[in-house]
Amino acid sequence: MNKNNGIYINSTGQELRIAVIESGKLVEINVERIDDKKVVGDIYKGVVTQVSSGLNAAFVDIGLEKAAFLPLTEMISKYADFEKNVDSGKLKLESGQEIFIQITKSPLGKKGPRATSFISIPGRYLVLMPGRKFIGISKKIKDRNEKKRLKKIGNKLQNEKFGLILRTESKFRTEMEIAEDLKDLKSSWKEMEKAAKNHSAPYLLHKEEEPVIKIIRDLFNSTIDEVVTDSKEIYRKILSYLKTRSGSKQLKDKITYHREEIPLFEYYGIEDEIAKLFSPYVELSSGAYIIIEETEALISIDVNSGKSPSNLSPEDMAYNTNIAAAREIARQLRLRNTGGLIVIDFIDMQQYDHKKAVKAELDRQLAKDKASYITSPISDFGLLEMTRKRTGPSILKSLQRKCPYCQSSGFLFAEHFITSSLQRWLRSISNKIQNKSIQIRCSKELANFISYHLDGFFHKLSRTDNLSIEVVEDSTMYGDDLKIWSINDNQEISNWEGGVLPVKD
């Protein structure tokens, strides 16, 4: 694993994976299907189709399959008269009324997307909030003098038409740099207003940046040592984006295109780290370990001493293990994108100062995460309860599916994850199996999925490496079982094991 801070972007054409490394450790992995239609962050001019006083909400047609759900708590005063608090008020919306809304949550099952009328447009240093009189400073900026300086800049730049949030990246930035970012954001908002005047609802006014650009916008700064991608298209896209953003041009020298024969994620040790995510066991350097288990109601995390050194007193051993576990738990929650209610069972400690220090260390590590969180003190039973805001499906839910053979009590790897892994594996080994004929053996369902999604890729390998690939249905195989067979050597050369395709000797 690289010891630097870096962003690493792997693309197969069907799947996009973005890894973030901090101080040599993988802390974030985003997996996106290229054909997935993301709507969170999109801004629409919609039309109200239904107002429900019982739900204290409105349904807004934005041109998608299902109407967006707009609750009272997400309505600006223009659309609601509030009484004692934001949860009680009177709706001022009517069916047929046009309204600007922004999507905050993707459609799920039978539910449409969730929306807000509090529009926010993120930039590199600022978030522009049209129609709101508000100046906010990122909670991650702790220095009082710097917060005071930024507040002064914000007040100077703000007017009655919009509010501002100064993001973490605004720290130590000059007024000119921040003003340039504001200029870009105001220009974007004017374009949306212009489009709204020229088009009737429903109409998409603004599309949120694609995942790569969003990561570059939010995370790429002077603390990042390198951004590496194995896609020429993405490489060019990032360079083009940096040219348009104020204060970003000096970062272009840190962008590199991966030319090594070893695949990008293998080269930097990221592939091995991803494979570990499918196990609930996480080992600590001391010999202790934690177990992370996800249920419908909550996430449970158990800290165990394992083979920790026995030359310490039980109290000191528990304290040292819990401190190390707190650091790793914060990393794992961010890495796995785990959200909701989380209960951590630390090793019992008797000293109050030790309990307080472990919680403080957990809070310090969680502060590095962009997702908001709340933690409780460690109880007399050694339990710490916390919540972490959901920012999308967990990494496991993104890469797995419920097993259809055991009444959904177990999980199988998702078909798209298998096909993307297969595609990466064939690329990495194609030079070793040139001029050969191989079979991919699997269930009928998986065979159909692979053939449909990778047929073009197989034809390309046939031309470039004279490699013949046949997908064969095997009635003895189920779920995510998959074997790769060499016809020339009449032997198995790989199979699907724990989310990876190893090469057999």
Per-residue pLDDT of 127-168, as tens digits, reads: 999 988 889 999 888 899 999 999 999 999 988 789 999 998
Question: Containing domain of residue 282, as a range?
Answer: 277-388
Please tell me the predicted confidence (pLDDT) of residue 205: 94
Q: What is the pLDDT of residue 246?
A: 58
CB atoms within 10 A of CB 241: 17
The secondary structure element, H or E, covering residue 290 is: strand 289-294
Q: Are residues 317 and 329 in the same domain?
A: yes
Position 505, amino acid: D
Cβ atoms of residues 277 and 336 within 8 Å: yes
90 and 105 inside one domain: yes
Of 276, 306, 322, the one marking the end of a domain is: 276
Structure tokens at 271: 């592939």
- 359: tokens are 């919680």
Q: Where are the beta strands (DSSP E) in 72-211?
A: 80-82, 89-91, 98-105, 114-116, 121-122, 126-130, 135-137, 162-166, 203-206
pLDDT of residue 372: 86
CATH of the domain at 491: 3.40.1260.20
Mean of per-residue pLDDT scores for the chain: 87
Rounded distance, CA 366 to CA 361, Å? 9
Region class of 441: left (phi > 0), else alpha (psi between -120 and 50), else beta:
beta
Whether residues 284 and 272 fall in one domain = no
Residue 429 lies in a domain: yes
Q: Tokens 């050369």 correspond to what residue?
A: 493
Q: Are residues 489 and 414 in the same domain?
A: yes
Beta bridge partners of 402: 411
- Whether 394 is in a domain gets the answer no
Strands 25-33 and 68-71, by their bridges, are unpaired
Is residue 454, in this structure, part of any structural domain at all?
Answer: yes
Last residue of a domain, one of 118, 139, 169: 118
Check which CATH number belongs to the domain holding 257 and give it: 3.30.420
Q: Is the torsion defined by CA of 481, 486, 487, 491 positive or negative? A: negative
Looking at the structure, tell me whether residues 356 and 433 fall in a common domain: no
pLDDT score recorded for residue 481: 87
Q: Give the chain's residues under pLDDT 50.
A: 84-86
Q: Could you tell me the CA-to-CA distances from 236 to 30, 31, 174, 209, 426 in Å, in that order?
A: 20, 20, 29, 16, 25
In a domain, 155, yes or no: no
**Which helix (H) or strand (E) covers residue 354, if one does?**
helix 352-366
Domain boundary among 91, 118, 145: 118
441 and 473 share one domain: yes
Nearest to 163 by CA among 126, 134, 125: 134
User: Domain for residue 197, yes or no?
Assistant: no
Structural domains of the chain, count: 4
326/407 same-domain check: no
**What b/e string do you get for 376-397 counting C-beta neighbours within 10 Å, with b at 16 or more?**
eebeeebebebbbeeeeebbbb
Residue type, 201: A
Q: Are residues 281 and 379 in the same domain?
A: yes
Domain holding 50: CATH number?
2.40.50.140
For residue 413, being part of any structural domain is answered with yes
In angstroms, the CA 430 to CA 466 distance is: 10
**C-alpha–C-alpha distance, residues 274 and 280, integer Å:** 13
For residue 502, what are its two tokens? 């190893």
Helices (H), 407-443: 415-429
Q: What is the pLDDT of residue 84?
A: 47
Q: How far apart are CA 238 and CA 79, in angstroms?
A: 39
Gap between the terminal Cα atoms of the chain = 25
Does residue 287 sit in the same domain as residue 246? no
> In whole angstroms, how far apart are CA 327 and each of 4, 27, 340, 455?
19, 11, 19, 44
**Same domain for 300 and 351?**
yes
Residues of 163-196 as b/e, b for ≥16 C-beta within 10 angstroms? bbbbbebbbebeeebbbbbbebbbeebeebeeeb
Whether residues 23 and 68 share a domain: the answer is no
Alpha-carbon distance of 371 to 355, in angstroms, equals 24
Asked whether residue 63 is assigned to any structural domain, the reply reads yes
DSSP assignment of 5-29 equals: -EEEEEE-SSEEEEEEEETTEEEEE
Alpha-carbon distance of 462 to 464, in angstroms, equals: 6
Q: With left for phi above 0 and alpha for psi between -120 and 50, is residue 66 left, alpha or beta?
A: beta
Residues 373 and 441 in one domain: no
Using H for helix, E for strand and C for coil, what is the string for 239-273? HHHHHHCCCCHHHHHHEEECCCCCCHHHHCCHHHH
Instruction: Report if residue 54 sits inside a domain.
Output: yes
What is the widest separation between alpha-carbon atoms in the chain?
77
Q: For residues 363 and 357, give the distance between their C-alpha atoms in angstroms, rounded to a whole number.
A: 10
